[in-house]
Structure 1
């Protein structure tokens, strides 16, 4: 018979729970005692039957007093408690499982499962929250333009979201999958791929979202795929996806459908299908018109060159209502400064201003485009647009369009009509009249000369209407600057800055005035202040570089000019400046590169052409220098210098026949040029040509003619000096008497003899100094590099040829 150990406890392991499972308290419960009695523990034989007493068999309680029945089976006795049938005794004690115990353990397992399920769900929520946090970080990084970091965080969010899905599937929580989180993660990842120009990955991610039927309304994301193909200029696929997205959008969502239709119309325009684009935009305007679609309709009408369609489209654009103006609300509270400031800085107020600005821009752009096309003349078309605009809800734009008309007339070169248009504004309100007077001042200022007085008058008129007009003060300062009064000009510029701190023109001109006055430090201060406002303004950077160049700070000047060159790499003047500094520093390589780039962008700069030719001559590449001198001779055909340089380059490169031909052409065009004749004499003599005598005679005659001309000019200058000296003695001419004979002729001759006798120097005829003909010449591109000397035909000191009679026999060649 097996004996039960005292330490066996069927409910061991439950002590960690609360008071409900406290062993010390549960032994006093009657229900627990009855359960023990019904169990195998309670049906065990007593100590009298077993021959020993278990002090803990009944937990210190006497045995029950119920009737006990005995039965024998296999020599063993079983006790029946509470009239239960006795079972036969065995050698192995019972496991102790009854129906009540099974129910208790099932409840226990259910409790454990419920607790574990709660733990799993809590872990899932924590993991999903981490995914959401990673999504937020990705969006914040994208908003800060950190696109690479945003993409990395989007990928990390995708990995964590997949880990959440896998964890739920392993724990049987598939029905609790968060589809919204999955959609947001995939959509954010696709956007970040698109922002990083990873178009293929973005399209693949969008396709995953679109093909998943569990995502509601995911079909409209095909618009994003169409946008990607549109940027890749694959307009056929873009149009396909736009139409598929349009089919996915219900008809009640008009705004979305109109935007997709607008994309379809733009795609038709890019494909050159203007008729389909026109019908698409017309449908958009009829369904729900906005200024973007209306402007597109006007542009497509202009593309098909249909004047009637342009008029109709512009009429539809003008009829689009705009946001009503609420200025009357602010007029009631003009004294409340805080309220006005709050209203002006409100975000909704800013959105309203932006929409109004977009509407005005669309209308003005349409007027500029269709005005020359709807009428034979630009002004007639402009007048038609103005009349239509005055009758619409956008009548307030008429004044601005009048100013725009004046600007367009100035661009077209019709200054007189522009002035007439601007003069009409004198009867308008104060701000408009002041702006018109300022524009008239600017026109007269640009004309210069006698018009500066009119410019001054218009500037004073603009300031009399609005004395805080900063632009008028700048123009007045410019007028004074041209007059040379730099102090007064600086005063006007300062006044303009005091009235409008954002007037960058005044600050720039103030720096120029300080630079002209020689106040370099103050000029640097002004330009650096302007540089902080306009970080990438090339003119400001060039002014700073020019100041440092004047201060001989070449390192700083090179840095600033290089910065300006990086902003506008095709500006030849900046490259020319850099080349000049490098050339002065002795860096010929950098100077050549800058000059070469400057020549590529502006090949008509004679200074650069001359430098390039001289550089190639200096480096003994005469054939390359010929090309530059040839281009210079084409641009300045009457300048003989370039043609002589071109011929000299040909001669240095060894092409004597070409050089001779060029010199002959120069001689035919300039027959009296002595330098050309000298070169002709030299070349024909070297080549042994019979023309050498002819050119030599021409050179001799040309030299004599030049000497005679020089002598004649010398005599003429001496005669003028003598006449100037004698004019003091003969201030009045002699009077003529009767018969035509001069009265007092003897006295006149006597005066002449008196003059000669009073002069100590006798009268002599000046001897003309006829110099001998000079047949020497100077190369216009400089002397050639010395050639290496050889031993052949060497002459001795006496001029005789070397004698080789004393050579030994063994030194002669075989």
Structure 2
């Protein structure tokens, strides 16, 4: 080709043949393959994957958001992969290099997940595989887990057997674990009512490393056997336990007398302090329960028993709870209706620590209020408030005393202050509603009771107050609906049934009224208004024989009330039984000789029957100066009876709670 030729230049590669650029400054052969992993590397990769699945299962089982179903699925997957890994090792010729730790971990996790899902049979089978494999060191202690499963299944003999087998395989060096297992044995023996065997196990624990739970269980066993001396000994062991993690200094949570609770909790709080406080509360709980259990039975009287318990606690490291037991002693006096001794015991706290003084003063205020000594009740309510301004129960008691004196506005202020301190103080909310009723502020009263109903859903007093408020607001439909709810809560209350019948009459539903009045009479046949209505109902229906039964019941309840006997005689007369009517009128006249209406009917009936006593009755009638012009009593209208029925004598403004506790409130009864 000549130099002047313009033919196109042939295409050539711009890169070297056989090479490709992977990054700036790097080149590699395009035909090179990555090296395949060795068998050892494959096994290690599978082991890591299995470990990861086991960790995920553990997190699902005991993490902050547990999901036991997913944990079980992961555990099954890990166990399955571990078995495949074992087969792969054998195929590759590495059967002598088994990872026993991984196998143990996978099986244990699977058994634990079965247990969490209450698949007890599968869990026991998996644990059995582990404990029977002699290649697993220390696997025998898992028999404790098997014993726990049997315990949950209430198979206590098998549980004890497993616990004892675990003890045999745990060395004496693991003292704490052995003692815990012995405590489990004792618990299982208690379930089987083998108290002596349980005592043996518990006493071994208490002699080595005592703890409050075991000490309390030991006292329970002594109590079950009725051995008062052993109860005393066991209680002394319990109260003199020196806990390792509860220090009696300010660094771990105990308060000095001058230190405020708010500053202590807000500025000095930490995890260690919280743990110490929790441990201390648990210890005090066990001591309190044991003391209340044995105090009434260790001496001839419960008073002597409480005195012994209090003195024992005062000489122990837990002396600060002795005052709480004296409060319990006062409450026991109340249950025995020994009010003077209860008041005397509570008054003894006036010269003691401030916390107990507030509690005792609150209870004293409640007691004096019940006895009607409102001056003393107010005095001790003020003492409790001065001791702790944020004592909602004391504020409620103070409000009760003011309400009793008629100072409703001040009482309402105290109730609302109590509610501000404790938004769920049911007594204060209930009493505020009552005060609003007394002040004729029905709508506000209804609001308070609806708020309380959201807290106490099935409380009959609250539901009644809501129904009564609607009735006072003339909203009969809503009132009837709430009375229906009330009847579903207390279906046998005669007063509520009578009230419902009265509302049904106001709506003109006589059938429903009859149904509820009849039910009320069936449950309590002594409400005069109910008896009168039913008698009048049968008179209207001209079923005089049935009406007589109700009027006779009324005359039995009120024998000096003449109208019921006149009603009976009138029923006889209307039914055409004049002879019975005449005899009844004669008896009425003998009992009430000055009754004009009775004489009128005697004159009329004796005339109709042609009796010779006619003139005698006429003369008696003429001698009476005051003769009623209202007509004979047999013409008394049923509306007159219904008017008296509407004056229901049902009073359901009762206290929500009359129990006396550490801090108590009293609800006014109007």
Category of TM-score, reference length = shorter chain: 0.5 to 0.7
Partner of 2:250: 327
Q: Relative to 1, partners in 2 of residues 1:122 and 1:659: Cα closer, same or farther, differing over 3 Å?
A: same
Partner of 1:456: 378
Pairwise CA distance, 1:321:
1.4
Q: Does 1:489 align with 2:378?
A: no
Q: 297, 304, 317: which one pairs with 1:373?
A: 297
State the Cα RMSD in Å: 5.7
Q: 228, 233, 236: which one pairs with 2:157?
A: 236
Aligned residue for 1:673, secondary structure, equals helix
Aligned residue for 2:307, secondary structure, equals helix
Pairwise CA distance, 1:325:
0.8
Q: 305, 314, 323: which one pairs with 1:390?
A: 314
Q: How far apart, in 1, do the equivalents of 2:266 and 2:322 lie?
A: 30
Partner of 1:161: 79
Q: How far apart, in 2, do the equivalents of 1:234 and 1:321 lie?
A: 35
Partner of 1:608: 497
- Check whether the contact 1:434–1:466 (CA below 8 A) recurs between aligned residues: yes
Q: How far apart, in 2, do the equivalents of 1:304 and 1:465 lie?
A: 44
Gaps of 5+ in 1: 1-13, 17-23, 25-110, 558-579, 686-691, 715-764, 783-814
Q: Relative to 1, partners in 2 of residues 1:246 and 1:543: Cα closer, same or farther, differing over 3 Å?
A: same
Map 1:530-679 to 2 at 5 A.
537-538=456-457, 550=469, 584=480, 591=484, 595=487, 598-599=490-491, 603=492, 605-608=494-497, 618=511, 629=521, 631-633=523-525, 673-677=565-569
Q: 357, 362, 365: which one pairs with 2:286?
A: 362
Q: How far apart, in 1, do the equivalents of 2:308 and 2:184 lie?
A: 31
Partner of 2:61: 139
Q: Does 1:352 align with 2:273?
A: no
Aligned residue for 2:223, secondary structure, equals helix
Q: How far apart, in 1, do the equivalents of 2:534 and 2:435 lie?
A: 45
Q: Relative to 1, partners in 2 of residues 1:295 and 1:408: Cα closer, same or farther, differing over 3 Å?
A: same
Q: How far apart, in 1, do the equivalents of 2:39 and 2:298 lie?
A: 76
Q: Larger Rg: 1 or 2?
A: 1
Aligned residue for 2:524, secondary structure, equals helix
Pairwise CA distance, 1:305:
1.2
Partner of 2:352: 428
Q: How far apart, in 2, do the equivalents of 1:306 and 1:505 lie?
A: 43
- Check whether the contact 1:629–1:642 (CA below 8 A) recurs between aligned residues: no
Q: How far apart, in 2, do the equivalents of 1:551 and 1:638 lie?
A: 22
Aligned residue for 1:272, secondary structure, equals coil
Pairwise CA distance, 1:169:
1.8
TM-score by length of 2: 0.67
Q: Return 219-228 or 173-182, whichever deviates more.
A: 173-182
- Check whether the contact 1:473–1:496 (CA below 8 A) recurs between aligned residues: yes
- Check whether the contact 2:130–2:139 (CA below 8 A) recurs between aligned residues: yes
- Check whether the contact 1:678–1:699 (CA below 8 A) recurs between aligned residues: no
Q: Give CA deviations for 1:681-740 in whole Å, capped at 9, x if unaligned.
A: 777x7xxxxxx56324335657988996245999xxxxxxxxxxxxxxxxxxxxxxxxxx
- Check whether the contact 1:278–1:297 (CA below 8 A) recurs between aligned residues: yes
Q: How far apart, in 2, do the equivalents of 1:505 and 1:619 lie?
A: 34
Q: How far apart, in 1, do the equivalents of 2:170 and 2:277 lie?
A: 31
Q: 58, 64, 68: which one pairs with 1:150?
A: 68
Q: How many residues align?
A: 574
Pairwise CA distance, 1:380:
0.8
Gaps of 5+ in 2: 1-17, 21-28, 601-624, 643-670
- Check whether the contact 2:144–2:162 (CA below 8 A) recurs between aligned residues: yes
Q: Return 506-515 or 214-223, whichever deviates more.
A: 506-515
Pairwise CA distance, 1:369:
1.1
Q: How far apart, in 2, do the equivalents of 1:234 and 1:612 lie?
A: 56
Q: Does 1:252 align with 2:252?
A: no
- Check whether the contact 2:419–2:429 (CA below 8 A) recurs between aligned residues: no
Q: Return 192-201 or 701-710, whichever deviates more.
A: 701-710
Q: Relative to 1, partners in 2 of residues 1:630 and 1:461: Cα closer, same or farther, differing over 3 Å?
A: closer
Q: How far apart, in 2, do the equivalents of 1:343 and 1:773 lie?
A: 82
- Check whether the contact 1:707–1:770 (CA below 8 A) recurs between aligned residues: no
